[in-house]
Structure 1
Amino acid sequence: MLASTTQALSESPEVQDEADLKARVLRADHFRVGLADRGRGYLHVQLRILAGRTPEAKKDLSRRVADALHGHLKALPPGLEAFLSVEVVDMDRGSYTKVKLA
């Protein structure tokens, strides 16, 4: 799932170096979706990018992630209603630092 998502992002003209892509999954053991006690789930992606991209570029990145993940989530267990959302967050360029360690 992470491989197909990072692959989809790497094909964007906004990504100059595929090594800039980092992905992780964090599981929430305790959550709630709406008022239902069970039978619902969600996958929320937060895509953090350096500020300065156009709204169209952000929408394209968001759509690439959603499309890649949706392909993995088509066959849900019976009785499960799930939601997928993607949020694009701008990171401040002025305070961002990255150092290659090797």
Structure 2
Amino acid sequence: MPHLTIEYTDNLPQFNISGALLALNKALVASGHFEEVDIKSRAIQIGTFLIGTSSDNRAFVHVKLAILCGRSIQIKHELSESLLHVLKESEWPTKTHVQLCVEVQEIEREAYSKSFIGSLVA
């Protein structure tokens, strides 16, 4: 835990997704709430999308952070803001309206299972 998912529209060819994933993971580590090895991130490119009633010159990046329940609303807000700050630091096109969003979701502890296989090589 946590699980981080970036969904982004395919009309952002300059979006450095690998760099963004690394920067977002580093922000989560810096928060002090997560161990580096526990962060699982992935990116999903969205080819079919609509923003409002048009997709012309419009794009979005939506980060979903799923964490175990029990953290205060203040901590969830701080996590959301820090991830949004990382997204804002990326290079964005000037002629495209890009919406950046971050959502923090809770996973019930009693419904989450985790196991390790193999050793961690540093």
Matched, 1:12 2:28: no
- SS class of match (2:42): coil
- Hey, which bits of structure 1, 4+ residues long, moved more than 6 A? none
Q: Percent identity?
A: 29
- SS class of match (1:24): strand
**Bigger strand share:** 2
Count of residue pairs brought into register by the alignment: 99
Q: Provide the C-alpha distance between the structure 2 equivalents of 1:11 and 1:37, rounded to a whole number of angstroms.
A: 35
CA RMSD in angstroms, aligned pairs only: 1.1
- SS class of match (1:46): strand
> Structure 1 length as normaliser, TM-score?
0.91
Q: Match for residue 65 of structure 1?
A: 83
C-alpha contact (below 8 Å) 1:5/1:65 kept by paired residues = yes
Q: Match for residue 101 of structure 1?
A: 117
C-alpha contact (below 8 Å) 2:64/2:103 kept by paired residues = yes
> Structure 2 length as normaliser, TM-score?
0.77
Q: Provide the C-alpha distance between the structure 1 equivalents of 2:55 and 2:82, rounded to a whole number of angstroms.
A: 31
